[in-house]
Every structure is written in C-alpha cells, then in structure tokens.
C-alpha cells in the first residue's frame, strides 16, 4: 500500500499550554495545581496529560492513521550514574477508547526511548530520545478522547522512568482513506 495522503503533526510539549496534569510521585496528579512555577520546578515528567482538540487538527474523512514519532528529552541530572545504569524505556499513549495497533495487536505502547550521552566523552550527560528509525510505525483509529496521557515507563512496564525531564514528542499522523485500508486484517 502506498500512502500519499495528508500528514499532520501534533507536538506534545511538557511546557505547552495544553498540559492538564503532571504526575508527581506519591501524589495524585489531580492534586497538583499547574502554576508556571510548578511546571518549571517539577523534576518528573514521566506522566503528563494533555488536552488535544482532534477535530481542529484532523479531518474526519480519515478513520485511521499511520503514525510515527520523534522524542527528545532535556538533559537530566543523575549524580554519579553513567549511561550503563539507565535503561531503555517505552512510551505508553492512552487515548481513551481509541484503538492503537502496533502491527500485531492492540497496544498503548507506541515505541521505545533510549538513553543517550550528549557526547562520547561525557557519559554522565544523558537525555532520552527516539527517532523514526528506532521504532516501527503504528496505527490508530480516529481519536475520540481529547485527553491524552503520555506515560514514560521502564522496560518492565511496572515502573515509570524516574526523574524524567521536560520533553518534546512529535507525533506524525498520515491519514488513510477507507478504500486504502487492507480489509484482510
């Protein structure tokens, strides 16, 4: 299938005006009042809920989208640890009742994020990133929920990445028309 339809990019930025809540360890996100000082001083962005008005971004002529993402965090402080002590994580994107497919099954896990050193000689200056080459494409149905929660988990899926700094996640959605959807799946 050759996809040459319209592409749309949604930017999830932890400093954005569409942030609804930031998870704080041992405290429900709903209890945090998002003042500029709280957003600036928070040192853990591993769970962030965003408000996205999908109807203002995506045309309803598409019922399904092929997706890719790029992720980059700010450099983070980690004491005397070096890159070998930080593990690969993955991004969980909860869009409510909207279906996300990773090519084999329904899943909220859209891909991996990798710890990287800022330079080869500075193994203690780390950030997380992921490019379109690091993960496969995934597919979503037209989103029906405007509240999107992005959670950055450790690879075991049981724990969140600790001390996650602010980040940008660029989500590119390519619309797929009904007549282009493979009905055999």
Query: For 144-155, how does the pLDDT look when each residue is reduced to its tens digit (9 = 90+)?
Result: 889 999 999 888
Q: What is the pLDDT of residue 37?
A: 54
Number of Cβ within 10 Å of residue 35's Cβ equals 9
Domain range spanning residue 78?
A: 7-12+54-180
Tell me the average pLDDT of the chain. Answer: 78
Q: Is residue 36 in a domain?
A: no
| First-to-last C-alpha distance (Å) of the chain | 14
**Percent of the chain surpassing pLDDT 70:** 74
Q: Is residue 20 in a domain?
A: no
Q: Is residue 84 in a domain?
A: yes
Q: Is residue 161 in a domain?
A: yes
Q: What is the pLDDT of residue 2?
A: 46
Q: Is residue 136 in a domain?
A: yes
| pLDDT band at 25; cut points 50, 70, 90 | very low
Q: Is residue 97 in a domain?
A: yes
Q: Could you tell me the sign of the dihedral formed by the alpha carbons of 16, 28, 96, 159, in that order?
A: positive
Position with higher pLDDT, 161 vs 91: 91
| pLDDT band at 22; cut points 50, 70, 90 | confident
Q: Is residue 21 in a domain?
A: no
Q: Which of 12-16, 83-87, 124-128, 159-163 has the lowest mean pLDDT?
A: 83-87
pTM for the model stands at 0.80
Q: Is residue 29 in a domain?
A: no
Q: What is the pLDDT of residue 31?
A: 44
Q: Which of 17-26, 110-119, 169-178 has the lowest mean pLDDT?
A: 17-26
| pLDDT band at 185; cut points 50, 70, 90 | very low
- Count of domains in the chain? 1
């Amino acid at each position: 299938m050759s996809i040459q339809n319209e592409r749309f990019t949604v930017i999830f930025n932890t400093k954005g005006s569409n942030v609804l809540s930031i998870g704080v360890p041992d405290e429900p996100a709903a209890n945090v009042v998002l003042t500029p000082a709280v957003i600036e001083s928070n040192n853990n962005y591993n769970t962030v809920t965003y408000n996205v008005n999908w109807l203002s971004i995506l045309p309803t002529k598409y019922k399904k989208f092929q997706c890719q993402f790029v992720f980059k965090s700010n450099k983070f402080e980690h004491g005397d640890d070096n890159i070998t002590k930080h593990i690969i994580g993955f991004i969980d994107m909860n869009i409510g009742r909207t279906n996300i497919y990773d090519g084999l099954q329904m899943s909220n896990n859209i891909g991996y994020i990798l710890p990287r050193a800022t330079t080869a000689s500075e193994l203690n200056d780390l950030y997380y990133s992921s490019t379109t080459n690091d993960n496969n494409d995934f597919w979503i149905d037209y989103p029906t929920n405007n509240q999107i929660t992005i959670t950055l988990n450790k690879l075991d899926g049981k724990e969140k990445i600790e001390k996650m700094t602010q980040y940008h996640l660029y989500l590119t959605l390519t619309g797929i028309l009904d007549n282009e959807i493979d009905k055999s799946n």
